[in-house]
Amino acid sequence: MAYLLLILVLAALVYVGWRVARMNANRPRTRVIGPDDDPEFLRRINPRDDQPRPDQPRP
């Protein structure tokens, strides 16, 4: 009887662990927005009316 109870407890723990792992796998990933994904940041560092730097040749 004790072995049957032990097997049931172990089976329950395995099932709960499996469900938790499945829930974490299906959770949507959070997206990190970096500077290259932010158009406002790109506009601030490269304004349209900016003159090219003197060390860069003009195309």
Could you read off the pLDDT of 11-43 as tens digits, one per residue?
A: 999 999 999 888 877 777 777 666 666 777 777
What is the pLDDT, as a whole number, of residue 48? Answer: 63
The separation between the first and the last C-alpha atoms of the chain, rounded to the nearest angstrom, is: 85
| CB 58, CB 52: distance < 8 Å | yes
Q: What is the pTM of this model?
A: 0.44
What is the pLDDT, as a whole number, of residue 59? Answer: 57
- For residues 49 and 17, which has the higher predicted lDDT (pLDDT)? 17
What is the pLDDT, as a whole number, of residue 15? Answer: 97
